[in-house]
Amino acid sequence: MRNRAADRTGARLAPVFGLPAAAVVAVLLYIPFLWTTYISFTNYDGLASPVWAGLANYKAMFSDPDLTGALLNTLLWVVGLVTLPVALGLLVAVLTYGHKWGTWLRLPFLLPYAISGVAVGVIWGFVLQPDGALGQVLGFFGLPGAHAGWLQAGPGNTLMMIVAVTWQAAGVNALLFVVGLQSIPGEPLEAARLDGAEGFSLFRYHLWPQLRPITTVVIGLSIVASLKTFDVVWVMTQGGPGTSSETLALSMYKETFVLNDYGQGAAIALFLSVVTFAASILYLRYQLGDSREQG
């Protein structure tokens, strides 16, 4: 009887204990989101009162060729970061897992993750600038491209910045894949080896299927990170030359804090949030549905 009474008392008090957490979420997440949604339907410069403008900001967004270019650059970032850092991380993890010096071999790939995106932009800006480190190395060996402007035209500048972020992100992906490899039972692998599986066939038919759960996590994180790419682009090119390397996140920042067009910036922010949410849901539903079919 005492236990039942205690359970009923706990059930009644549960909402009370949950109120502080709900209040924090509401203040830090939902209220700013609702305010941003409202601002996206207004003309607002941050000083005067917002003036209702209906869908004007959204019409302007989809008819602006610069924002169309930013959308294409963002899609290029998604494709680039879902392939290069994930593939390189997986390759590093598979080649070093079980190796005597595996931890030390992975360390050079992991160290860049400890520095900020701004620092990555500064380092690679030095490497890729005209007559920078890359140009001097190519010139020393007499290779073409010594005086190339790697960041001077799109979409080449976006591709080079994807390479820079790959340098930073591959290490942590490798670490996640190593965790996935450590969770695989040893007995099935030993049985596969006794049956003659080794090398690529061992990876293709025995390791890769069991790495799918961690691969889902790695790719999901890469999709979200690519859609909100900002810091590296801002440091290396500020979206230029012109708007050739702008992403949606960078366009949102420029419209809001450089041009003081808060309504247009809020419209881009809301569109980017919807795209990120939809991409995450669709990807997870596809992966979870595929896992259930296999299960």
Q: Do the beta carbons of residue 177 and residue 102 sit within 8 Å? A: no
Residue 6 inside a domain? The answer is: no
pTM to 2 decimals? 0.85
- Token pair, residue 2, equals 């005492």
* pLDDT tens digits along 111-162: 999 899 999 999 999 999 888 899 899 988 888 888 888 898 889 999 999 9
- Structural domain count, the chain: 1
Q: What is the mean pLDDT of residues 244-272?
A: 93
Please state whether 49 falls in left (phi above 0), alpha (psi between -120 and 50) or beta: beta
Residue 11 inside a domain? The answer is: no
Q: What is the mean pLDDT of residues 84-89?
A: 95
Q: Residue 128 is part of which domain span?
A: 64-293
Lowest mean pLDDT among 60-74, 77-91, 143-157, 229-243: 143-157
Output the domain CATH number for residue 148: 1.10.3720.10
pLDDT of 188 strictly over 60: yes
Residue 85 banded pLDDT, cuts 50, 70, 90:
very high
Proportion of the chain above pLDDT 70, given as a percent: 95
What pLDDT, on the 0 to 100 scale, is given for residue 207?
Answer: 86
| Per-chain mean pLDDT for the chain | 88
Residue 49 inside a domain? The answer is: no
pLDDT of 291 strictly over 70: no
Residue 4 inside a domain? The answer is: no
Residue 191 inside a domain? The answer is: yes
Residue 34 inside a domain? The answer is: no
Residue 89 inside a domain? The answer is: yes
* pLDDT tens digits along 88-111: 999 999 999 888 898 899 999 999
Q: Do the beta carbons of residue 250 and residue 230 sit within 8 Å? A: yes
Residue 44 inside a domain? The answer is: no
Neighbouring CB atoms inside 10 A of 203's CB total 14
